[in-house]
Structure 1
Amino acid sequence: MIDPTEDRNVSDPQHETGQGPASVGLVFDVIAAFVRILAGLGLVTLTALVIAEVCSRLLFNTSLHVVEELAGYLVVATTLFGASLAIRQNTLFQVGFLYSALTPRVKQVLSLVYIALSIGICGVLIWHSSLLVMSSFSRSNVAPTAMMTPLWIPQMLLPVGLSVMTLFLFERALLQLGTGGKR
């Protein structure tokens, strides 16, 4: 008989209770709840904007002229915040059939290498996107759209979203180091 728990990743602490992601502490849980709310609100707002644009075009034969711009900003925000939550739940970028064939020690080492590389990449991206935000702010750049949004405002989504990702990567590293790859 096949045991349904047999395929569980023993180096993944979230499977200890089966109740969502493992956590290092309350601070991470609060941040995750806030990010989840922001991502949810972004998705609801995005849906409402698209519905409003469709209705405006169908019923009044006119466009709202801001939906495309706002939708773009919301897609970036929900993508970054959603990826952050996927990192926290350890469900981002994993090839299960290969990973499950490895020993717990190899899984732990690979996880730590993945986390270290990810933190490094996020750090570089945070740095360069912050430079972009500062440049747009100092030059008073605005979007060439009807709203004329100051570009530094939507550009802030990049360093903020990447910082949240990095925070949850640190949490994953603490979990890996604290459990020795087992729970």
Structure 2
Amino acid sequence: MQKLYTWAERLSRAATWGSAALLFAVAAYITLDVVMRKLLNISLHGSDELAGYALAISTSWGLSFSLLRRANIRIDALYSRLPQRWTVWLDLLGLIAMGIFMAFVTWFATQMLISSATMNATASTQLQTPLIIPQGLWVAGFMLFMFVLVVLILRVVGLLVRGDTAGVRLIAGIRSVEEEVSDEVSPQTLQAIQSEVPHAR
């Protein structure tokens, strides 16, 4: 299970880098379009349409990495006050609930893709983009998310069976303030802040 989890993490990271590359490419296209309109009075056309596709695709591609990094927003008003032996079961319940919801999202998105492929649908724009292309990439992100989510749930169940509540909290629990801070500042800066706290008191 550890190998499968590692593979899922690498796949999610690659998808995230692909999302970033896609957004940068669209940003460059829009910039070029604006410059050419201003200087040459020439439009490349379709920049708004491509930006919409890029936003939808990059969002779905980034979901799995956000899940593995526990970047999804969760309400912890009650959670933070419960014992860890209880919160790990809430973590599992939260993953299962998310899986049920995303299963419906993925199902309907896939049905939309199949419908577009059946009708050879194209966008009602100047580019007349075959909708199967952006929708296919969009759905691929949802499918990747579902795969990663199933792997994560199976790993959490395995850890619970072994009684490893600390392991569950590490991969599926709500991020602590210390973890949030350590992601935003360098280790040297964090160490300096911690060393100054006693003096401030």
Q: TM-score, normalised by structure 2?
A: 0.72
Alignment of 1:111-130 (within 5 A): 111-130=91-110
Distance 2:20 2:133 in 1: 20
**How far has the Cα of 1:24 moved from its partner?**
5.0
Question: Structure 1: which 5+ runs fail to align?
Answer: 1-21
Asked if structure 1 preserves the Cα contact closer than 8 Å seen for 2:121 and 2:131, the reply is yes
1:89 matches 2:73: no
C-alpha separation in 2, matches of 1:168 and 1:114? 15
Aligned length: 162
How many angstroms does 1:51 deviate by?
A: 1.2
SS in 1 for 2:91: helix
Aligned to 2:132, which of 152, 156, 167? 152
AA of the residue aligned to 1:86: S
| More displaced 10-residue stretch of structure 1: 106-115 or 165-174 | 165-174
Is there any run of 5+ residues in structure 2 with no aligned partner, and where? 168-201
Shift of 1:96: 4.5
CA distance in 1, matches of 2:78, 2:4: 27
**1:147-177 Cα deviation digits (max 9, x unpaired):** 2111121111332111112122223313322
CA distance in 2, matches of 1:83, 1:29: 12
Q: Tell me, what secondary structure is at the counterpart of 1:156?
A: helix
Alignment of 1:34-183 (within 5 A): 34-96=14-76, 98-180=78-160, 181-183=165-167
Take 1:34 and 1:57, find their aligned partners in 2: how far apart are those partners?
35
Cα distance in 1 for residues equivalent to 2:9 and 2:67: 13
Query: How many Å apart are 1:76 and its aligned residue?
Result: 0.6
Distance 1:104 1:24 in 2: 26
Instruction: Please give the alpha-carbon distance, in whole angstroms, between the structure 2 residues aligned to 1:117 and 1:27.
Output: 24
Q: Is the 8 A contact 1:23 1:175 kept in 2?
A: no
SS in 2 for 1:50: helix
Distance 1:97 1:46, change over 3 A: farther
Structure richer in helix, relative to its length: 2
1:35-66 C-alpha deviation (Å, 9 max, x unpaired): 12211211211221221122122212232112
Query: Which segments of structure 1 move beyond 6 Å, counting only runs of 4 or more?
Result: none
State the one-letter code of the partner of 2:38. Answer: L
| 1:23 CA displacement | 7.6
1:65-118 CA distance string (max 9 Å, x none) = 121111111011111122221111112022355432222122111111111111
Aligned to 1:25: 5
One-letter amino acid matched to 2:55: V
Summarize the Cα distance change of 1:93–1:56 in structure 2 as closer, same or farther, 3 Å threshold.
same
